[in-house]
Structure 1
Amino acid sequence: MIKKLVKKARFWYLTRIKWRRYQFGPNFYAGLRVSLWAKDTLTIGRNFYIGRDSQIETDCVIGDNVIFGNCVAIVGKYDHHFQQIGYPIRLASRIRDDHYDWKGKGQLTRIEDDVWVGYGSIIMSGVTLAKGCIIAAGAVVTRDTEPYSIYGGNPAKKIANRFNSLQDLQTHEQKEKELQHLFNAYTGIQGLAIKKETHGTH
């Protein structure tokens, strides 16, 4: 009981005080030592899970039912003006500076619904992870992904479809619509219990 209250208080503090500039959907979960920063926009949907030691350091819009494993990072491609004439990179203007006016400004990263990003993956700013895709552990994503696809490697490339057949995908999408009310009411961390099909007797 006390553990639950402490956890609830922690998430309230994170979303209402520490990260109050950003928008969070219901049932947000963040592991230890998570870091969030966006210059202008960070919007997160419902049932978002981000594992320990992960970070978001760019403008980003994240959909519903998204999982980030531990040590995942979304980072900017142009955090420092490395072409600023006469300046070492360390002393050049940074995207965090108010006067920054170079590449990367206004660049938005999009993570659509039902995406799973595996341990230690890096997502470069400006890409879109399409609905239902999976990013394998340790991948470095530099380009947009296709829906319901699995990506791995550096740079990340498509290695498989998430479902074994088009029929499975179509059935999944239909069932997903039917079960939407369960997803909207979900407040836990564990997966939902599998609903058994009931068959009439003959």
Structure 2
Amino acid sequence: MKVLVFGDGPFASLVWYCLKHDSRHEVAAFTVEGDFLSKDRHNDLPVHAFEDIEGNFDPSKTAIAVAIGPHDNNRVRARLLAQVKARGFQTISYLASRAIAWPDFKLEENTFIFDGAVIQPFATIGRNCIIRSAVHVSHHVRVEDRCFVAAGACVGGSTSIGAGSFIGLNATIHDNIEIAPNCVIAAGSVLTRSTEPGGVYAGVPARKLRQS
């Protein structure tokens, strides 16, 4: 089955490279929304407008990796994934060979877990999540759908990360924390208490700055 990468920015390039060198998937092309189509090739592969993609690829024989970052609390990636599925395309996920996850870990749709990440026993990662390099997800952690956890973040045991949340570079989340949906935890922050929905938190210890 051929694979398309949705996006043509740096993160899409990263996903393309990882799939090319560390998976069984063959990436055939990139696709973007027509309003953002600014070039016809990316990484020596064609770029197609998503609105016209069926003219080049049969949905029953093609999967799409929605390689979009945490824009608008991950809502852009969620919207595009819904459109991909509505058009009849399949989806893929990626677990790096250099990541550590236990045999009973379940990899959900359009979730990407990069090199050096550690997913401990009893931890769960939801649909449409991005877990970047060297992230540590401790035992019994629950990461809900459409979250983005940036490189080097450490999430303590039995913590819950609500849907749509963003955890910044090298952030530390203490054990038994409840991060409410759509929160932003800034890079380098140390979160020691649970959060309110949609809050932006930063500092050591992290304090609420504003609503996202």
Q: TM-score, normalising length from structure 1?
A: 0.56
In structure 2, the residue matched to 1:68 is 149
> Aligned equivalents of 2:155 and 2:95: distance in 1?
23
SS at match of 1:24: coil
In structure 1, the residue matched to 2:106 is 23
In structure 1, the residue matched to 2:133 is 52
Say which structure, 1 or 2, has more relative contact order (CA 8 Å, 6+ apart): 1
8 Å contact from structure 1 (residues 58, 74) kept in 2? no
RMSD: 2.4
Are positions 1:122 and 2:203 aligned together? no
32, 36, 40: which one aligns with 2:119 = 36
Give the superposition deviation at 1:22: 2.1
8 Å contact from structure 2 (residues 147, 164) kept in 1? yes
Give the superposition deviation at 1:43: 1.6
> Partner letter of residue 159 of structure 2?
T
| CA spacing shift, 1:12–1:156, aligned 2, 3 Å | closer
> Partner letter of residue 190 of structure 2?
V
Are positions 1:111 and 2:165 aligned together? no
Larger Rg: 1
User: Which 4+ runs in 1 deviate beyond 4 A?
Assistant: none
Q: Which runs of 5+ in 2 are unaligned?
A: 4-15, 26-93
Alignment map for 1:1-202 (pairs within 5 Å):
3=17, 4-9=19-24, 11=94, 18-38=101-121, 41-76=122-157, 108-162=158-212
Task: Name the structure where strand makes up a greater proportion of residues.
Answer: 2
| CA spacing shift, 1:12–1:111, aligned 2, 3 Å | closer
> Aligned equivalents of 1:143 and 1:157: distance in 2?
9
> Aligned equivalents of 1:144 and 1:35: distance in 2?
23
Give the superposition deviation at 1:7: 4.0
> Aligned equivalents of 1:68 and 1:150: distance in 2?
15
Q: Which runs of 5+ in 1 are unaligned?
A: 77-107, 163-202
> Aligned equivalents of 2:114 and 2:175: distance in 1?
22
Q: TM-score, normalising length from structure 2?
A: 0.54
> Aligned equivalents of 2:204 and 2:174: distance in 1?
12
Give the superposition deviation at 1:23: 2.7
Give the superposition deviation at 1:20: 2.5
> Aligned equivalents of 2:24 and 2:170: distance in 1?
28
8 Å contact from structure 2 (residues 117, 132) kept in 1? yes
| CA spacing shift, 1:9–1:156, aligned 2, 3 Å | farther
Aligned residues: 127
